[in-house]
Amino acid sequence: MDTWNVFWKYIFFASVTAFAAMSLWVIVFGFFDIQRMLGDLKNPDLTDDTQDD
Amino acid sequence: MESSVFSGGHFSLIDWLIVIGYVSISIFIGLFARRFISGVADYVVAGRHLGTALSVATMTGTEMGLITVMYSAQKGFTGGFASFHIAVIACIVTFLVGLTGFIVVPLRRTKAMTIPEYYEMRFGRPARILGGILLAFGGILNMGLFLKVGSQFIIGVTGIDPSGGLLVVVMTTLIALVLFYTILGGMVSVVLADYVQFTVLSMGLLLVVFLILNTYGWSEMVEIVKQHKGPSGFDPTIKGSGFGPAYMSWQGVLALVSCAIWPTAVTRALAGRNTKVVKRQYMFSSISFLIRFLIPYFLGVSAFVFVMTTGGIFQEAFFPTGNAEALDNLYAMPIFLSHVLPTGFLGLVTAAMIAAFMSTHDSYLLCWSSVIVLDIVNPLRQGKPLTDKGKVFLTRLIIVLIGIYILLWGLWYEGSDDIWEYMGITGAIYSTGAISVLSFGLYWKRASSTGAILALLAGFSAIFGLSKIRELLHYEAIEHIIGFELNAPVMGLFALTLSILAMIVGSLIWPDSPKQTGKGLS
């Protein structure tokens, strides 16, 4: 029982920390993505990098 | 007894003002996004212009709905820390899908806008129409309880009298709002709204976790769970935990379905800028797929600790002595929040949860309606395909019809007690067949059209896992003979196995002609 408790504790705190860091990244870079997406939708031919590898 | 449990929370006028302010922003987004829609590709997949960060925001916004928060909190309340295993499985599976590109990368390369569209590319038109019908049927059925469960959150957190008519007004307003901005701006407004909702939701959840840990502390929570649940509150592998090996295997299947098969998630992959973005999106989103379960489980465990430490009317409501009927434990988390969080902060968290509610509804509405138009109606109009304008109009009309269905179903349907099992098995009606058709279609050249049709039909057998049908068909006699319970996870695994067998056997016995095989994408 104690092993599981310690395991869940580490999982929980590591996950919340990772989520906090990811949220910050998404909020900042998502804003730039929105600018680019709206620009692309206005001028679809100018910024086409939608080709796959 | 129950009304005193609902009353006495901290929700006040300031909280209502915060919620109304947030809702107003959503209306503005719908109006703003409308100007960017010029065709059906802009409407359904935002013209495939999503970058990685925005893809992660919209996928998280969609997949972390209020329904997810509610049923996960319910699992945390009943299962304790042992329920955390579901989150870990979801994280690992999503990360592996991102790392390998399993299903999502080859699917993105096809440039299909919906999964059934891929079925037609690979297996012909009948597979697309059948796949579309099963997808829309399972998906809309799956969505049927969203509003009902969302309403239970609103009741619990605000202290609205459950017997009053105000709840109907609140829920009608919410669904009308979602319909408004989804109809106007399609995927562009969904993506913009999801970004705002991600911001509000992530900040709200992180602050809640901080406040709860500040109130109770991890060690105290562990002690309370240990005292009342023993080892089964921590170890998911033991029988008393309510989980066990079959349950955990089924969670692995559901995790794959959630990220790589379920259309609302896959639509994000199909809307990705390119395949590199798609892979990165999944690897990052594995954290979201972990958190979307983990934090709500934590809230459920916290609600359990609150009920057990506060005792009195709360303990009596959820764990009554004698023959009294227990209050639905879905209410435990919102009631807990309304009594623990301070005024003002409660408004922020409620706005975050309403954000979760709306971000799931908008994507689901858009997804099922576009499937009905693009994969059922349009292919059936042989020789007379709909124009782009006609497709967008019909998609909008069907969004309204599904919205009305959700409202009526949500207000009057008496749902199952365990929402997660209901969600899993209704989703499996479509997804068990789709796992076979997608994975064999993308990776096995000999997969044939007949095999695909049989696999889709075999997947439909998951419907026999629904509790109402199990009761109707009296499974007890069979269970007595075979010696184990035919519950939702077992029936789901059975449907998946049957579907895989149908695909393999059907393809080997009835292969496609060489001309048909050549048009495959693998």
In chain B, whose CA is at the least distance from the CA of A42?
B36
Taking alpha carbons only, the member of B461, B459, B466, B463 closest to residue B422 is B466
pLDDT, tens digit, 9 for 90 and up, residues B369-392: 888 998 899 888 877 888 878 888
Structure tokens at B153: 């959150």
Residues making up chain A, counted from first to last: 53
Q: What is the pLDDT of residue B44?
A: 55
Cα distance between residue B321 and residue B327, in whole Å: 12
| φ and ψ of B91, to 5 deg | -65, -50
Of B49, B57, B108, the CB nearest to A26: B57
Q: Does A46 touch chain B (CB under 8 A)?
A: no
Structure tokens at B206: 């992180």
Task: State the residue for tokens 């799931």.
Answer: B360
Cα distance between residue B259 and residue B498, in whole Å: 22
Taking alpha carbons only, the member of B349, B281, B338, B371 closest to residue B63 is B281
Cα distance between residue B53 and residue B198, in whole Å: 11
**SS3 state at B446:** coil
pLDDT, tens digit, 9 for 90 and up, residues B305-333: 999 998 788 888 888 887 778 888 888 99
Percent of chain B residues topping a pLDDT of 90: 28
Q: Alpha helices of B383-418 — where are they, by DSSP H?
A: 388-412
CB atoms within 10 A of CB B210: 12
Pick the range with the lowest mean pLDDT from A3-12, A14-23, B460-469.
B460-469
Q: What is the pLDDT of residue B360?
A: 78
Q: Do A49 and B60 touch (CB under 8 A)?
A: no
pLDDT, tens digit, 9 for 90 and up, residues B10-31: 788 898 898 888 878 877 776 7
Structure tokens at B222: 């562990």
CA distance, residue B44 to nearest chain A CA (Å): 13
* DSSP-assigned letters across all residues of B4-50: HHHSS----HHHHHHHHHHHHHHHHHHHHHGGG--SHHHHHHGGG-B
Cα distance between residue A42 and residue B42, in whole Å: 11
Which of the two residues, B485 and B348, has the higher pLDDT score? B348
Q: Do A16 and B46 touch (CB under 8 A)?
A: no
Residue B462 confidence class, pLDDT cut points 50, 70, 90: confident
Pick the range with the lowest mean pLDDT from B144-148, B221-225, B339-343.
B144-148
CB atoms within 10 A of CB B475: 17
Most confident of B82-91, B134-143, B150-159: B82-91
Q: Is B186 left (phi over 0), alpha (psi -120 to 50) or beta?
A: left
Residue B519 confidence class, pLDDT cut points 50, 70, 90: very low
Residue B86 · residue B74 · CB < 8 Å: no
Residue B178 · residue B407 · CB < 8 Å: no
**SS3 state at B82:** helix
CA distance, residue B253 to nearest chain A CA (Å): 22
Q: Do B294 and A11 touch (CB under 8 A)?
A: yes
Of B47, B56, B84, the CB nearest to A41: B47
Residue B60 · residue B288 · CB < 8 Å: yes
Q: What is the pLDDT of residue B262?
A: 85
H-run or E-run covering B172? helix B166-215
Of A1, A22, A26, the CB nearest to B231: A1
Helix, strand, coil percent values for chain B (each to nearest 5): 80, 0, 20
Residue B520 confidence class, pLDDT cut points 50, 70, 90: very low
Residue B357 · residue B254 · CB < 8 Å: no
Q: Alpha helices of B230-341 — where are they, by DSSP H?
A: 245-256, 263-270, 275-310, 312-318, 332-340
Cα distance between residue B53 and residue B194, in whole Å: 12
Q: Do A32 and B48 touch (CB under 8 A)?
A: no
Which of the two residues, B357 and B63, has the higher pLDDT score? B357
Q: Do B218 and A41 touch (CB under 8 A)?
A: no
* Residue B417 DSSP label: S
Q: What is the pLDDT of residue B195?
A: 82
Q: Do A52 and B109 touch (CB under 8 A)?
A: yes
CA distance, residue A36 to nearest chain B CA (Å): 8
Cα distance between residue B331 and residue B327, in whole Å: 8
Cα distance between residue B16 and residue B471, in whole Å: 43
Buried b (16+ CB within 10 A) or exposed e, B50-77: bbbbbbbbbbbbbbbbbbbbbbbbbbbb
Structure tokens at B361: 């509804």
H-run or E-run covering B183? helix B166-215
Taking alpha carbons only, the member of B347, B368, B294, B321 closest to residue B142 is B368
pLDDT, tens digit, 9 for 90 and up, residues B88-109: 999 999 999 999 999 999 988 8
Q: Does B357 touch chain A (CB under 8 A)?
A: no
**Alpha-carbon torsion angle B472, B428, B255, B304, nearest 10:** -30
Cα distance between residue B76 and residue B83, in whole Å: 6
Three-state SS annotation for B339-388 = HHCCCCHHHHHHHHHHHHHHHHHHHHHHHHHHHHHHHHHHHHCCCCCCCH
Residue A15 confidence class, pLDDT cut points 50, 70, 90: very high
Structure tokens at B476: 């007890």
